[in-house]
Amino acid sequence: MPRSHRPLPPGGVALSALFGASGLLHLLRPRVFEGIIPTPLRRHRRLLVLGSGVAELACAAGMVHPATRAPAGLASAGLLVAVFPANVQMSLTLGRRAARRRTVRSWTGFAVSLARLPVQVPLIRAALGVGGR
């Protein structure tokens, strides 16, 4: 069976669902994400948040259809790389907040944000797998 006709693997289903949920959240609650836009890009934070939400939804939809699965998988990997600086910015911001507040909750948030950074690697690998790489 040609690769383009194979069903989306379970990892691809999860990745598509993750992109879909995140994309919707970016569009419905953009303020949640505006604070993690890296400082040099903050002037355009709303546009960047909304644009990344649209891109995530497009990637999610593209991974579902066999004809667009390969380019959507590659675009998803690229998007994950592109948003990585925002994830780093989130960790920096939460680390500063934790140092100021010194509460268990703030330190926990910081720890979770740090633990989330290396998770990008398997997500990128899964996206590349969906893309046929």
| Contact between 55 and 21 (Cβ < 8 Å) | no
Question: Mind listing the pLDDT tens digit for each residue in 50-88?
Answer: 999 999 999 999 999 889 999 999 999 999 999 999 999
Neighbouring CB atoms inside 10 A of 105's CB total 9
d(CA 5, CA 69): 10
Return the domain boundaries, the chain: 9-130
The whole-model pTM stands at 0.86
| Contact between 107 and 81 (Cβ < 8 Å) | no
Question: Mind listing the pLDDT tens digit for each residue in 95-110?
Answer: 999 999 999 999 999 9
Residues 6 or more apart from 98 whose CB is under 8 A from it?
Answer: 106, 107, 109, 110
